[in-house]
Structure 1
Amino acid sequence: MSDIFTQCFIQLDKSGGNPNDIFTCLEFWQHNLYLGTSEGEIIHLYKVDDSSEYMHVSRQCISNTKKLPVTKIIVLPEISRVLVLSGHTLSGFILPELTPAGMGRVKDVWDVSLDWGDMMSDDKESNHTVKKHTFNQESYCKLTIFTKNSIKMLRIFSDSIRLHKDVQCNGCIAGVQRSNHVIVARDDSYELIDMDHSQKIQLFPIMATSEAVSNILPIIRSVSKNEFLLVCGGNKKADPAMGMIIDVNGDVTRSTIAWDEYPDCLAIDFPYVLAIIGGNRLIVSSLHEQGTLQTIQLGLKDKEIQTDTEQDNIAQQGADEINDHLTENRVMFNEEIDKGNDAFEGELPIEFSGVFNIQSVSKIFKIKNKDLVEKITMAPIISTMSDDEVQQIVFEADKASQRCIIQTSTICYDPSLKNLSLLQQQSRIDRWLYKFQNATKIDAQNIFDGLIDEFSELPNDKFLISILGLFTLKFEMYNHAFELWSQNSPVLDPRLLIYIISGDKNQIYGSVWTFTGLFDIIENMKMPEFTRELKDFYILFLNSSVEFKFKEDHQNKIKSIELELLRYILKFDNDTDDVKLESLLNKIEFGKNEVIEQILLNKKYFILSNYYIKINDNKQFLYYWKGLIDGDFTDKTFNKKYPDKSLAIKVMIDFIKIHFANDKQIVWKYMEWLISKYPALGLGMAMDAKFDSLDLSISKIVNALEDKKLKLEYLEFVYKYKKEKQFLGDLVLLLLELFLQYLEKDKDKVNKIFDSYMKLSIPKVSFLKFWKANKFDLKEEFVKMHDKLYNSLAFVGSDTNAILYGGGNILDICTDKILQSEFKMKIPLLSAMILYKKSEYYKLMEIYCQIEDFTSAEYFASTLQLNTLENKYLNDKIFDKSISDELLKNIFEIYLQLEHTELIDNFINKHDLLNDSIQSDTKIDKKMDKFVEIINKLPNNFPVSQLHNFFTFRLVDFKVYDDDLVVKRNLLRMRMLELTQLKKNMLDKYCHTNNG
């Protein structure tokens, strides 16, 4: 590794100087150099733009009465003032020309400190400055002074110095302030003070004993945002010394830094501590590592710095970019100057003239380092070669050439300024790369801790962030890796991590940019085998990143993360439950086509079908869901969730009802498929009311249904619920076909039931009642078809035809299939219904009479109605009294032929055979003739006693008629007499009138 620090010498104009001048302090600000001398003078030099030397401008005395050494120069550019500590007096001057500011003086000042919590860089990132505050619309800067009796917090205005707070503290000789905390050196020890609460914590002794040692002065430095470095020594300067680093609570936070003797002076150039030992030895130590890293023998001029003109050009070109890598608080100002021995009012401390001094100044010097250009250039490690990318590559190359500078504010000089030099720190980039490449597992944690410490001071350094991110991966520090890669996404592109772990650029979308100095490291990083720890880190990182909102190239980053997460789950969780995969797919925002491709490659058809629902590609869902049901695609998850395919089919039907209820083409496509493969479920879909509005072809559905039972169910649905009456004929024909099939199978039992009925004695119960009581002995299917056919025939008309079965009159077909068959008499209900619908009443009566069902015969003859199986009257015919009378006579004739006295008696008593069928007022003589006719037809052996009621009622009728006739004659005779008398009276009256 090359030297950590090198000297770059600064040239000064000697023409205006005094060779006997002893310089006690200095300050650089912009193009100005202010030198304080042992004689109480300030020399102002200025760098002309086209010159490489600082030219003499002015020399003035601080005091006209005393010549006390100038020990501190404090620049306050925010209020255009300079404060100078000469002896124990603090005076104010105007910046930059150093004319007296007329703001008063402060005496009895032993040390001065700015508030290191207010330190920052100026707008051009060319100088360190201090924050400006406002009080009553006046600007001021904070300053703390240390006197023998107190610590005073001042507010420095452009025209005055005002006390803000005073804390009693005896014996103060030096101190440093950061925010509300102050480290103070008293006569023999260090002390930590909380200025807000006036709380004090005793720290370390300055020396091993309280013996006065004139050449050992306390050294206090601000290290970081909440740390201080304190130097402790022995009894004399030549004894070993050590640096203790504490935080604002007084706790030691880092390893002790050791020197072989007490430092003459000390500066912090983070992360290094620079101490001058023995007057001319510069010792470089690290805040992170123990031991001496480098020793520089001062006074040997090896090279000179670039001209100031070149520095300024660099500063103007690249300051805005480079100083992102710097922390504002790391550079020390006036506290880094050896104070000398303030016990001597007019002379320098012993041996001062030969001691080198080191301090940090306000100016930020910038030194160009061309070797850095290639390392800090941003370029795409994964490229798309788009036009925008090419333009950006050119832009980044130009920007890197402007940023390849090293910054420093640490100055080393001897009292004569013969050796005035910048201490140029090795570029952080080279140092970080060296540490990364040479780290081992043994020292990896210590190196990482040091880098993190620097990161706390340089939180915006993109190169350091990148190094840290790669470091955690290289040494498997996955907890740190997750924190760094998650919280620094603008710099640590998640696609870079994916590339490092997966090793496949084809899985990355968009351009992935990083520093070219890291290209080889990234390309050569081979992640170990996927350990459990790496898997846990990787899946956690991907899951957290997939929901992140990236400010730049969001879509390509999220797409890459989504697909990598998908590949990971498919690779490592392929045999587990698909919950993780389903959860991821619910988050997928981009890369839908790639997601589909990956799922297909892994044959996750169930997941794929559900994913199509998520992206609203509903037709594709139906396609793959159908394939899973049919077995065209095999998926364990699907088979596990839907062992019964009917459940999956119901899911699909419900999905169609929701998304395609009005799409006739889609509905018919899947309905036709279901009817052919899963006809029962397909029929259920065809009968769903959700699709009624589509007006699907009934004939297509019927023809597609091969199962006759299902076809029957659909025709019944069409006829009964959809009210499509035109399909009654097809329904009856299908019922007839099925009925005949079952009849053939069950004919023996049918014959048996019929024979049982025929064996019943006369008069018999109606065959309809007999059927209802005995049909349960038959097969259920046969009975069901018989009853359905009977009920359906009840609605058939003489003109009912089949539509789907090639036409033909339904009653004619039924006549041919039933009335012309051997079973005509065995299924009398159906035969009777057919004949009834054909209005062939006499044939219908023949069937009833042949099976001796005279109950049904008499009922039909008297009403011309049939009973349905539901005991409802079927009355769709116009009642014809003449036909009814004729049928009744025919029945009576049969009864007479049978000479069945009970039937005859019941019939005679039940039916009025004497009334004429044409007119109700049949003449009595005709009734008497019919009465005689009926008597003559009765069998000779017919018991007269059974005609008692018949004779009685009829003779009574005749007697009533005769009595009624006599009454009517008498009434008529009386009326005729009244009318005759009336006529006679009227004639008499008329004649009398005429005669008079």
Structure 2
Amino acid sequence: MASERQRKQGNAASAASATASETTTPAAPAATLPSARPYALRPLLHDVPLSADGKDEDIKINCVEYYDGNLYVGTSASELLHFFRIPPDPADPSGQSTFIFASRPPLYSEPAAGINGARPGVQQILLLPRVGKACVLCNWTVTFYSLPEMSPVFSATQVRNCNWIGGVDLNEGFAAAGDGSSGGVTILLSLNRRIQVVRIGEEDARVLRKIDFSGSTLSVRRDSIACVADSTSYSLLDVDRQLKIPLMSISSLDNSQPDGGFGHAQNVASAPDGGLARSASSATARAPANSQDTLVKSRLTAVRDLSSSLPSLGAGEEGYVLASMTREFEDGLHHGLEIQRFDVNVGEDDAEKWWLEIGDQDPKQSAPNTPIGIRPLLQSEEMLFEDVVERLCQRRFSPFKGQPETPTMSLKSNDSRTALSLQRLSQEKALFERDTESDDEQLPPGWEATRNQEGEDFVRRLAKTSSRLAVWAGDNIWWAVRNPLLTQLDSALEKAAASTQQTAPDGLETRRQLLSLLGTIKDREPTTELEFMTLGYIKQKASVMLLTTFLSSPEPPFADAEMKAMEENLVGGDLDARVVLSLIPALRNEIVVNQRGIWIYGGIKNIVESHISTETDGLGMQGISSLAPNVLQFLRRFLSAWRKKKGFGSIPDEVFRTVDASLLLVLLELDQDTPSGQTGKPGSVRKELYDLVDHGVDCFDRAVDLLETYRRLFVLSRLYQHRKMAADVLGTWRRIIEGEEDRGGELGDGEQRVRSYLSNISNRALVQEYGLWLASRNPKLGVQVFTDEKGKAPKFEHTQIVTLLREEAPDAVKYYLEHLVFGKGNTAYVNELITYYLDIVITDLQTSPASRDNIAASYDTYRALQPPKPTYLRFLADNAPPNDEVWQSRLRLLQLLGGGHDYDAAAIRTGSTTPSPPSPFTLFPRNHPRPTYPTGPPPRPRKSPTASPPPTLINNKNNTSSSPNPFSSPRAAGTTPALLVRLGDYDTAVSYCIRGAAALTPAGTTRRHRRDSGSDLPPTWDEQTVLFRTLLGEFWRCATRTSGSSRRAHCWSGSGVLDVVPEAWGVEVVGGFLVTALRRLVCEGREAAVERALSGAENLRVGFEFVVKVEEGGGVVEGE
């Protein structure tokens, strides 16, 4: 019995046939497809001239033998017909062999006296090629002939009353004549009461021994041991020792055997080449029965085929049993062949059985009631399966209706969404008719026919098989040929489709049968190249049939498992994705084909073209929006799975161009339901769309067209980013920002995105172009492009940027100057920046009453603060309204004016475009005489709602470029009156007298100044004295008197202060000053006493050291 692995491999075709309703012994022969069986009949010789004159119609074929191109046919008319084979024309690969009639030698025809005087005709033909002889049993008489012409030899020696001839040693085989090893061939002749052992040589035939054994009907021998059968049982026979060992009965229903010991049953029924053997029963042998049939007594001939031809099911299977039987059906008796596997263990599985009739193969040749004979021949014949060649040969496929020469373009404009113009159609045609493999490649004339021929030659080498089984009925002879796996499985597919069209138009049964067949071959590992191609072909065809069922029968819908199985087989079967897309008219126009076209199996080509030809005209014009959601989801998964094959060198680039374009189109259609502005969430269609363009597509130009058509500009910009096309990325964002429709709405803060992107590119021209464009739209953000220290583009010169901004984005100049002055400490642009600030502040004051009221209120609020209070700049900064550009400009202006920056007041006044309002704080204009201090408290100053410190500071701070000492100018001394009179900021006024301009800068502010300028140095003692005198004069003018105001007046002269204090003032008014002055006088007196004492001690030390030096030197005599 076969091993478990062998039986599993062998059962695949049986399971496939079972899927196609090839069950055990069908009720009627018309219910099964012929090619679904494991065997088929191929013509060997038709219209055999059984009668010499053609008048006798009762003559029939009894036996057939074949060797070395010679066909011998024995008839019931006791004639042996000899035919000679003419091989096919080598130039015609599909040509068939033909046989010509050679001779009709009459054989022995005297009535036999052995069995009721019957004349059966030619009963057996035994060819012995080793000795060039043949033994023919005719009418129970054996005659010997020479090969191949069948001339009588051995002086017409005959052996009468013979039942059968055979028993050739299986170990020796049927070697060809003239091999040099022939010493004769030993055969067995079964007579009525004994078996003769005969030695046939080239010159004579000799009887070696006679063995008593009556009633034998058949024998096979290996060496000296023969297995002999009679009408009831088997026996082992040692022809050398003439020993007989009884074995089991032929039929389990036969109880006539006496009890006794039997030997073990041995399987010695193998052919000379290990493949074929034969057995025949008597005229009353019991035929295998089936409960569905009526058992009919008839002659039964069975053969066992163990050979595995090249395109058969598997190398490890043991074969089939074929029996010629007669069965009774509803319409009468039918003669046919029952085929079943014999490598199934008893009790494990029911043996699969198939019924084969001659009429199934060729209805014109024989009627069902014609008896059938079957016999294994001596020599096999090689033959070719043309249907396998036609199905497996690669053929050029056109995905469009029409000839293959026309559809080498992509008619994308037929899509309703992309139908722009006929001109665009012609441009795309010119584009896709170009050979992408090589622009210079020219295909030679007839290249397609050459490739077809090469493909056919390759498949023909694989689709060859051989057979030794001959089947005959009437005057016709056939080869019984093992059906290749492809034919069996393909027939199962066709039967599934045919049965479903009759019983289930919705396609439900078809899909179940197709999925069952795919599941049967899913894990099958091919062992030959033909089997590999066969499995791939079946997967492709079954998957295409599933897809057509899915597209044409939306109800009932496919289950998830069914959909997944279809997708896996479409991808795993290696079917060109363009073929799948050709079945969907809405995507057919995305297919890209080069000059060489699409090459697929011929069988797949036929089924796809058949489906396309049945489509309604104009169906492809409906566009992808006409597809059902489940079809779109299927395409999404299928195309995504196909993209994973990128990098396989065996797949043309046009496939991935088609796949990418189709997938992009499907995702764009599905993503239309996603809310605008939503980002790509994991697992969403939008996320998959982003991944597709972010990883790049092979159909770049087509992708741009699709994204433009769907108005998905942001996705288009991501496609450009993958290609590092910075100019197109920025251009696309610019279109969105300027208001062009972007249906996805994913850009978000477009200006900020542009700003960040410009920092990451190194193209200086793009940075300049889009930096200026951004600065014109958003000055503050645009300036950051030019001020970014981490940008990859080469840096611009400051003067160049200022010039460009003045020309393209004037509103952004101020922000860039702020960067230079405050960020970089570049004071060259202080004057210009102050001018910008003044224009902003003054324009706002002149045009906005609310701004004037806010400033006046800020003065009053600051004056009302109790000391110690922050500086005025800190006060303004802490109370600045959010996002108030004017307020920020005012703060920056005060910071510039109050800091150590050098500026030219005259130049600022000249450059300002807005006239400055009169200010009451312009206290000390140029050449203004020093004030005379009053004898009483000054009146409270008037409030001016439009007054502000900037004009005051401009008028009262001298240009450092013309004054080497900034604190010696009366303009510097005018700052303290401004702080006192208008703001009441006494602490800052005193701090200014001590620290100078540093006192006006809020804490935490970075101060930048020129190193060659003395404007930011603290005042000297003399300068502090002058400033404090000025401050003291302003104190006398203020109505507010406080002792705390003079605590810092350490630079005041006591007598000078007392000289100007009015006599009417009480001591408590200047008490703080008097205490401080007296303490200072006491300290100065004590310091002077200590200094005098130290000076005296120093004098004593110096005198002592002088005396010591003199003593060390001794006396000195000076001559005159």
Is residue 442 from structure 1 mapped to residue 505 from structure 2 by the alignment?
no
Q: Write out aligned runs for 1:435-474 (5 A).
A: 439=498, 441-442=501-502, 459=531, 460=533
Question: Does 1:695 find its partner at 2:795?
Answer: yes
Q: Is the contact made by 1:228 and 1:246 (CA closer than 8 Å) also made in structure 2? A: yes
State the partner residue of 1:635.
742
Deviation at 1:792, TM superposition (A): 1.3
Q: Residues 951-970 of structure 1 correspond to what in structure 2 (within 5 A)? A: none
**Contact preservation (8 Å) 1:542, 1:565:** yes
**Relative to structure 1, is the Cα distance of residues 482 and 627 closer, same or farther in structure 2, using a 3 angstrom cutoff?**
same
Residue of structure 2 aligned with 1:509, choices 593, 600, 609: 593
Identity of aligned residues (%): 11
Whether 1:396 and 2:452 are equivalent positions in the alignment is yes
| 2: CA distance, partners of 1:732 / 1:670 | 28
Matches within 5 A, 1:686-835: 686-691=786-791, 694-696=794-796, 697-700=800-803, 702-703=805-806, 712-744=814-846, 745=848, 746-748=851-853, 750-751=855-856, 784-795=888-899, 797-798=901-902, 800=903, 809-810=907-908, 821-822=919-920, 824=922, 826-827=947-948, 831-832=952-953, 835=956
Letter in 2 for 1:726: A
Partners of 1:41 and 1:59 within 8 A in 2:
no
Listed as ranges, the matches of 1:553-702 within 5 Å are 554-570=652-668, 575=673, 577-582=685-690, 584-585=692-693, 590-632=698-740, 634-636=741-743, 638-639=744-745, 641-642=746-747, 645-646=748-749, 648-658=750-760, 660=761, 662-691=762-791, 694-696=794-796, 697-700=800-803, 702=805
Q: Is the 8 A contact 2:394 2:602 kept in 1?
A: yes
1:699: how far off?
0.6
Q: 2-side partners of 1:553 and 1:722: how far apart?
A: 59
**Code of the aligned partner of 1:614:** H
Cα deviation 1:261-312 (Å, max 9, x = unaligned)? xxxxxxxxxxxx35xxxxxxxx4458xxxxx966527999xxxxxxxxxxxx
Q: Secondary structure at the match of 1:24?
A: strand
Larger radius of gyration: 1
Q: Name the aligned partner's letter for residue 364 of structure 1.
A: E
- The alpha-carbon deviation at position 664 of structure 1 amounts to 1.1
Is the contact made by 1:171 and 1:186 (CA closer than 8 Å) also made in structure 2?
no
Q: Matched residues in 1 for 2:396 and 2:1039: separation?
A: 123
Change (3 A) 1:653 1:789: closer
Q: Distance in 1 between matches of 2:1062 and 2:710?
A: 98
**Where in structure 2 are the equivalents of 1:209-358 lying within 5 Å?**
216=300, 228-229=320-321, 243=338, 245=340, 248-249=343-344, 251-252=349-350, 254=352, 257=355, 273=356, 283-285=358-360, 296=366, 357-358=374-375
Distance 1:84 1:587 in 2: 79
Deviation at 1:451, TM superposition (A): 14
Query: Which consecutive unaligned segments of at least 5 residues does structure 1 have?
Result: 47-53, 112-145, 152-166, 192-201, 258-272, 275-282, 287-291, 301-353, 803-807, 915-930, 975-988, 991-996
Tell me the TM-score normalized by structure 1.
0.57
- Alignment-derived partner of residue 348 in structure 1: none
Equivalent residue number for residue 1000 of structure 2: 868
CA distance in 2, matches of 1:898, 1:560: 89
The one-letter code matched in structure 1 to 2:614 is K
Rounded Cα–Cα distance in structure 1 between residues aligned with 2:155 and 2:396: 54
Shift of 1:552: 4.7
* 2:385–2:464 Cα contact (<8 Å) kept: yes
Q: How many residues align?
A: 784
Contact 1:244–1:252 (8 Å) recurs in 2: no
Query: Which residue is equivalent to 1:913?
Result: 1053
TM-superposed deviation, 1:623: 2.5
The aligned amino acid for 2:502 is I
The one-letter code sitting in structure 2 at the alignment partner of 1:835 is N
Distance 1:962 1:551 in 2: 103
- Equivalent-residue separation in structure 1 for 2:571 and 2:878 (angstroms): 79
Assess, with a 3 A threshold, how the Cα gap between structure 1 residues 951 and 964 changes in structure 2: closer, same or farther.
same
Cα deviation, residue 886, structure 1: 5.2
Task: Tell me which amino acid in the other structure corresponds to 2:729.
Answer: F
Structure-1 separation of matches of 2:778 and 2:878: 32
Q: Which deviations, in whole Å up to 9, do the C-alpha atoms of 1:823-854 show, x marking residues without a partner? A: 54654586257524444643454564585578
Contact 1:801 1:810 in 2 (8 A): yes
Partner of 2:45: 7
* Deviation digits for residues 811-833 of structure 1 (CA, Å, limit 9, x no counterpart): 88799976964554654586257
1:107 equivalent among 225, 229, 239: 225
User: 1:868 deviation in Å?
Assistant: 1.5
Q: 1:958 to 1:734 in 2, by over 3 A?
A: closer
d(CA) in 2 for partners of 1:900 and 1:571?
Answer: 80
Q: Per-residue displacement from partner, 1:633-672 (whole Å, max 9, x unpaired)? A: x232x31x34xx31x44444434433x1x22111222222
1:842 to 970, 984, 991: 970
Question: How many Å separate the matches in 2 of 1:244 and 1:64?
Answer: 37
How many angstroms does 1:536 deviate by? 6.8
Q: Secondary structure at the match of 1:669?
A: helix
Contact 2:375 2:470 in 1 (8 A): yes
RMSD: 7.4
Describe the superposition over 1:50-89 as per-residue Cα deviations: whole angstroms up to 9, x where unpaired.
Answer: xxxx787999999999988445887979999999985699
TM-aligned CA deviation for residue 733 of structure 1:
2.3
Structure 2: 5+ residue runs without aligned partners? 1-32, 35-40, 49-70, 72-82, 85-101, 110-120, 207-220, 230-243, 250-261, 307-311, 399-403, 409-432, 434-441, 620-626, 675-684, 924-946, 960-965, 1008-1014, 1101-1114
CA contact (8 A) 1:793 1:834 kept: no
CA distance in 2 between partners of 1:813 and 1:373 (Å): 93
Alignment TM-score, normalising by the size of structure 2: 0.52
Tell me if the contact between 2:994 and 2:1018 (Cα under 8 Å) persists in the aligned partners.
no
CA distance in 2, matches of 1:779, 1:618: 39
Q: Give yes or no for contact 1:28–1:361 (8 Å, CA) kept in 2.
A: no
Q: Secondary structure of the residue that 2:366 maps to in structure 1?
A: strand
Q: 1: CA distance between counterparts of 2:275 and 2:815?
A: 92
Separation in 1 of the partners of 2:833 and 2:726? 37
CA distance in 1, matches of 2:1091, 2:766: 86
- State whether residues 408 and 424 of structure 1, in contact with CA within 8 Å, keep that contact through their aligned partners in structure 2: no
Report the alpha carbon displacement of residue 218 of structure 1 after superposing the two structures with TM: 5.6
The match for 1:525 is 613
